[in-house]
Amino acid sequence: MAFRIVCRPSVLASPSRAASAALFGTSRNSAMRSMIRGYSSGPAKKSGSSPMLWALAFAGAGVAGYYMMTPPGKVAPLSSPKSNPGVNVETKQKNNLDYQAIYNDIADILEDNDYDDGSFGPVLLRLAWHASGTYNKADGSGGSNGATMRFRPESEHGGNAGLGVARKKLEAIKKKYPDISYSDLWSLAGVVAVQEMGGPTIPWRPGRTDKLSANDCTPDGRLPDGAKDASHIRDIFYRMGFNDQEIVALSGAHALGRCHHDRSGFEGPWTTSPTMLTNEYYRLLLEEQWVPKKWNGPFQYVDKSTGELMMLPTDMELVKDSRFKKYTVIYAKDNDKFFEDFAKAFVKLEELGCRFPEDTKTYRFKSTLE
């Protein structure tokens, strides 16, 4: 059964949440303001995909929503190009693409009142995050170059459950612009999601190529597990080449999206406005009282005042661990600083595993909100 998300004014009652609402109201257009909403305490509306969520991704992705989960799960991969699985070849793309036009077309498909909280933004962000977050700096494997999530077994990794929704959503864009690689399309979709949900401008470079062999799929377990602790977070992100400051900055993407019980086992949104990127995630971590959720699902936290927001064990490590907490405090106080550091870390994330020619053009896209 699907559950409609309804407005609950009580969710926005606290001073910090009211301040967030005021911020959004003065800085976004009416279409985006209409996406800000509260939440019922009932089950989330199903997204129409098979089980499990990341929780990014910080995407995401996934995201969306998303991000920080790698529980077991299954999701059918998008049909992939027919190829000899023992041959590793790449698709090349042409350089005459109008990337601003592609950006605009992706922005046009984000808003959908029948999906989650009214936007595909969080799940597209999570797709971009998870496609990039497989990178291993030790051997150069993984990363956004290749789009290997198109193939089994990577498409079936627990952390990628539910991302078939995002890949399918982007097929119309791929059909319209067949010369863009999936790797570039997915990473560009992450940029669109960030900017169209009120986040900072993300510089972006094209040139990623698609692998046509499942042999290039990375092993499972490279994405963060939301049930674990600070040492696990560092193991995952240090492997990619990030430091503690960048880890906390990327974690701010949890302001977006929600966990789905039928994907990750966890349930609920992190913030009161999961289709708007602000520093609310950090402020809630510090200002709310978080208590264990009493339910039959995996261990997670809910806010004591309403029980309608949630945090994962990995989220709480950002205030429990002193080296993480100092950055959490900085970003909770300064949204501009969060945006500045998030943009830098996100560019780094999306370029993991990529080698661009020196003359590759860097794009800074105009948001449709401007």
The string of pLDDT tens digits covering residues 179-190 is 999 999 999 999
Confidence of residue 90 (pLDDT cuts 50, 70, 90): low
> What mean pLDDT do residues 330-348 have?
98
Q: Where are the alpha helices (DSSP H) in the chain?
A: 15-27, 30-33, 99-108, 121-132, 164-169, 171-176, 182-196, 230-240, 244-251, 280-287, 313-320, 322-333, 335-350
**Cα–Cα distance between 128 and 62 in angstroms, integer?**
8
Assess whether pLDDT exceeds 70 at residue 192: yes
Catalytic residue IDs: 130, 270
**Mean pLDDT of all residues belonging to the chain:** 82
Confidence of residue 266 (pLDDT cuts 50, 70, 90): very high
> What mean pLDDT do residues 294-300 have?
97
% of the chain exceeding 70 in pLDDT: 74
Name the DSSP letter for residue 144: S
| CB atoms closer than 10 angstroms to residue 232 | 17
> What mean pLDDT do residues 98-115 have?
97
**Cα–Cα distance between 33 and 29 in angstroms, integer?**
6
Which amino acid is it at 341? D
> What mean pLDDT do residues 350-358 have?
96
Assess whether pLDDT exceeds 70 at residue 360: yes
Crossing angle of helices 280-287 and 322-333, in 10° steps, is 120
Cβ atoms of residues 57 and 67 within 8 Å: yes
HSE at residue 70, side-chain half, CA atoms within 13 A, is: 17
- Token pair of 296 as six digits: 């039959």
| CB atoms closer than 10 angstroms to residue 23 | 17
**Cα–Cα distance between 164 and 358 in angstroms, integer?**
34
- Give the Å distances, CA to CA, from 292 to 227, 299, 302, 310, 324: 13, 7, 6, 9, 21
Domain ranges in the chain are 99-351
- Token pair of 18 as six digits: 């009211």
pLDDT of residue 86: 36
- Token pair of 65 as six digits: 């929503």
Assess whether pLDDT exceeds 70 at residue 355: yes
**Cα–Cα distance between 173 and 188 in angstroms, integer?**
11
Confidence of residue 219 (pLDDT cuts 50, 70, 90): very high
User: Torsion over CA of 148, 275, 32 and 108, rounded to 10 degrees?
Assistant: 20
**Cα–Cα distance between 343 and 239 in angstroms, integer?**
20
Domain at 99-351: CATH architecture: Orthogonal Bundle (1.10)
- Give the Å distances, CA to CA, from 174 to 96, 113, 316: 15, 23, 38
Sign of CA dihedral 113, 114, 117, 121: negative
Radius of gyration for the chain, computed over Cα atoms and rounded to the nearest angstrom: 19
